Amino acid sequence: MPLKYSIDHNLRRVIAEGHGTVTSEEVFRYQREVWSRSDVTGYDELIDMSDVREVNEASSERARALAELSAKTDAPGGAAKLAIVAPQNLMFGLARMYQAYRELNPMSTKRMAVFRDRPAALGWLDGKDLKD
């Protein structure tokens, strides 16, 4: 599967990594599968798309639908963070579009940021960078 994830319960963090070609259906499946689990409620999230070469079915409509689904699974009143690593211009643009839709959704409670590299994203998640 081009989109794989792991859960670090010690850090209270879900880490997802994309590889090769990722379809929007895989991203929706990840969102439904992981964030329906009660044991990760309120966890931070890192999505690393550094190794993604192509995204199939990417569109503004799919980004909006994903943002809506994601917001529905956010912990109410939560303070969790979501960092997306997207070094490629296309991935960065898609991630920023998703961020905009997510921030416009009143049910969304995660703070979100998009980064070009993983160390910056991890620093932000760890509270070492004040980017908000």
Please name the amino acid found at residue 87: P
Nearest Cα to 46, choosing from 1, 90, 19, 13?
A: 13
Query: How many domains does one find in the chain?
Result: 1
Residue 127 half-sphere exposure toward CB, CA atoms < 13 A? 3
Within a domain: residue 53?
Answer: yes
pLDDT digits (tens, 9 = 90+) for 75-124: 887 789 999 999 999 899 999 999 999 999 999 999 999 999 999 999 99
Within a domain: residue 130?
Answer: no
Whether 15 has a pLDDT exceeding 60, the answer reads: yes
Nearest Cα to 31, choosing from 42, 45, 19?
A: 45
Q: Are 121 and 111 in contact (CB under 8 A)?
A: no
Q: Are 66 and 82 in contact (CB under 8 A)?
A: no
Within a domain: residue 48?
Answer: yes
Question: Domain range holding 120?
Answer: 3-125
For position 50, which CATH number holds?
Answer: 3.30.750.24
pLDDT (0 to 100) of residue 131: 52
pLDDT digits (tens, 9 = 90+) for 26-67: 999 999 999 999 999 999 999 999 999 988 888 889 999 999
